[in-house]
Amino acid sequence: MSLLLTLLFAAGAPGAPPHQVTLALDEYERLRKLDERPSLTVLDLLQVDGSFARRDLAVVLTGRAAGALPTVNVLSGEGFRVHTCKGDALLSRGEKGEFALTPLAPRFQLRCKVALDGSDRLEARASRAVLEVAADVADGELVASDGGSGERSFSIVRRIAGGQGELPPSVAGRYRVTLLPDETRFLYRLEVRNPSRGHSQFQVALRESEHVESVDAPVAWDVAGTGYRFDLPPGETAIALRGRLASTTFVPPVDASLQYLVLEAHPLIRPEVRTAARRVGLGEAGIEAQYRGAQAFLLGGRVEVGIAATRLEALKTAGFAVSRLAQIFFFAADGKVRGETTLSIDNQGAPALALPTGGEPMFASIAGEPAFLTRDAEGRLFLPLAQGKQDVVVQDVRPFRARAGLALARLELPRTGVPASRADVQLRYPAEWIPLYEELAPAGRWSFVRPESLVLVALLLVLAERLLALAGLRRSRRLVLAGSLALAGALSHAVLVIGLAASAAPLLALAATAALRRLRGALRVVAIAAGAAALILLVVVLAGLGFVARLERSEGAPIGPGYSKMASEPRASSLDRSEAEAAAPDAGREEGKGESFQGLPARIEIPWGALRTGFSREMLASDGSRSVVVVLATARLVAALAWAASLALVVLALILRRDLAEGARRLGARFRGADVTS
């Protein structure tokens, strides 16, 4: 602005050429620098003075401006009007109701009258351009607070003459005392309401045994002796004091008509309360409890509450529980057993699982994540546990003794130290091994021949002996032949089926022939039909035995009594969990070599085998040694015995061929109806 006036005056000077101005260089630089100054308006002070009683409230705006003296918003609010302004500035009202100030000089002061709309309270907001808000109202008090956007809200509240007419603050006290093994904590929460129009002092008196560590209050406060003094504005204020109580008694810090106490204790502490206060429900206290078994009391005035704490002795318990133990043993053809243990654990405080293993650990995972294989000082597998429910999987390998086609394996189950709610043990055999005997104390079973197979072998022995008796063989010879046939049938399913067919068919034919000779008419027809049906039934039964045998061997069905139906489970059985399979890097260690490796171990897949059997137990104790005992025979040994028995039967038949031929002629004569003498 000053540069423009200088140029105009210079343009009108006599003797100067039109449209040209001549200035000294230093004067031009000075004028240019003046024009480059920033344009800014600042209000150093916004002060309200006057009196509510005289109705002469006024607002005084004092500030400075630079540059082009820009206009700024200074004041906004409702319930009042500003008028009759005097000073070195202009005050205008914008479209949104805010008041804007336009300076008329670099230093200015503007005084405007304020008219209230029938209230004894002036509430307004000062903009960011106002640096300070003050009040000099004879019968009023300033209450100011900073806003989040830089604005400052303030109110001028009329003060009632005479202090005796003001009401004291009302208090609702809610207290919580917590008994811990090493100290006693407290929380005092005070809900204070100031009904006055102005600020009021509020005192909280504490005892020397109450050590405050933190104060949470939205108002100004300071320490007054052993207590605290708070400057309360009109309205409601929440105050919270937290600290430590070094006393066996509790006394409310304030005198209030409504006060609640919540007394709670750590699980290792048993509280004993001595008080005349009335017990109430915990929900009525309005303050939350951190421990179960808390007690709530309704206090009247500053009643004393005596508190005695008795420390309890915690019983020794296991830090975790095993809901399920799934154990798999696979008997490999190389004389080693591959084991996989899956433990479903609910951990509530145990830092680790120390697991004695009967073999050499090869893999371990916790909650699906592979874990390093480490041992503790006692040589047990050491696996750190997390909090909560998790699955622990351990794979190991162990040898078993085998000699002359027979083997004995004693496989120890994992000892976790706590009983397993349910235990499932699965035994898997390849085609090279045939189990003879299996035992998980106190139960044991012979596994080579099933009960139904024993019945069929006994039936074969009886039928063969009766057929040879009808053929006229002497008792000793027919017992030897029938016994040899039954032994071969016990070792070979094919010999069993063929022997039953060869023994039952002639006996049925003889019975049908004898019946046909004695019957006439309709009974004869019925007898023929019954014989045909019996023959068809025999063929179906024998064919079914052969089909079941082939099906069982193809699907790996169990062959002994008392087995669970694990053979019919799908490939995704729970005993063969694959959710924890680790895609870890190469372990770098081959089986049987003691070389160290880098990285995490890799999990192998336990084969299903050709035959699967198992045991199931509930609440299986694992604090002692529990072993699975298995006696096995190689498939080659069983096949050799079956061939030897069959060959012995053939040799015996050749030796007794004359007796067998004579017996065949006797049976033929019986079919023809001729008399046969013994």
How sure is the predictor about 615, in pLDDT bands with cuts at 50, 70 and 90? very high
Residues 6+ apart with CB under 8 A from 303: 251, 252, 275, 276, 277
The Cα 465–Cα 555 span in angstroms is: 35
Cβ atoms within 10 Å of 516's Cβ, excluding its own: 15
Above 50 in pLDDT, residue 581?
no
Of 413, 400, 398, residue with least CA distance to 614: 413
How sure is the predictor about 261, in pLDDT bands with cuts at 50, 70 and 90? very high
Question: Would you say 173 and 300 are in contact if contact means Cβ atoms under 8 Å apart?
Answer: no
Angle between helices 451-470 and 475-491 (to 10 degrees): 150
The Cα 383–Cα 341 span in angstroms is: 14
H-helix or E-strand containing 64? strand 58-66
The Cα 550–Cα 556 span in angstroms is: 10
Beta strands in 180-291 (DSSP E): 184-194, 200-204, 210-216, 221-224, 227-232, 235-245, 249-250, 258-265, 269-274, 278-280
Above 70 in pLDDT, residue 463?
yes
The whole-number pLDDT of residue 375 equals: 87
pLDDT in tens, 498-515: 887 777 778 777 777 776
0.75 exceeded by pTM:
no
Q: What percent of the chain has pLDDT over 70?
A: 79
How buried is residue 412: exposed, middle or buried, by Cβ count under 10 Å (0-12/13-18/19+)?
middle
The Cα 457–Cα 459 span in angstroms is: 5
What is the residue type of 95?
E
Overall average pLDDT of the 141-149 stretch: 72
Question: Would you say 155 and 122 are in contact if contact means Cβ atoms under 8 Å apart?
Answer: yes
What is the arrangement of strands in the sheet containing 336-347, beginning at the earlier edge strand?
A: 369-370, 360-366, 388-399, 336-347, 320-331, 420-429, 611-620
Angle between helices 475-491 and 635-655 (to 10 degrees): 160
Overall average pLDDT of the 316-338 stretch: 88
H-helix or E-strand containing 282? none
Above 90 in pLDDT, residue 79?
no
How sure is the predictor about 517, in pLDDT bands with cuts at 50, 70 and 90? low
The whole-number pLDDT of residue 524 equals: 61
Q: What is the DSSP letter of 164?
A: G
The Cα 318–Cα 351 span in angstroms is: 11
The CA angle 62-67-73, to the nearest 5 degrees, is 45
Above 50 in pLDDT, residue 431?
yes
How sure is the predictor about 542, in pLDDT bands with cuts at 50, 70 and 90? low
Above 60 in pLDDT, residue 366?
yes
Phi, psi of 630 (to 5 degrees): -135, 130
The Cα 219–Cα 143 span in angstroms is: 11
Least confident span in 216-225, 446-455, 557-566, 626-635: 557-566
The Cα 201–Cα 237 span in angstroms is: 12
Above 70 in pLDDT, residue 56?
yes
All structural domains of the chain: 2-35 (no CATH), 40-159 (2.60.40), 165-311 (2.60.40.1170), 324-448+561-580+602-625 (2.60.40), 451-557+641-671 (no CATH)
The Cα 441–Cα 439 span in angstroms is: 6
Question: Would you say 186 and 178 are in contact if contact means Cβ atoms under 8 Å apart?
Answer: yes
The whole-number pLDDT of residue 240 equals: 94
Mean of the per-residue pLDDT values for the chain? 80
Residues 6+ apart with CB under 8 A from 452: none
The whole-number pLDDT of residue 573 equals: 38
Question: Would you say 426 and 327 are in contact if contact means Cβ atoms under 8 Å apart?
Answer: yes
The CA angle 398-354-319, to the nearest 5 degrees, is 140
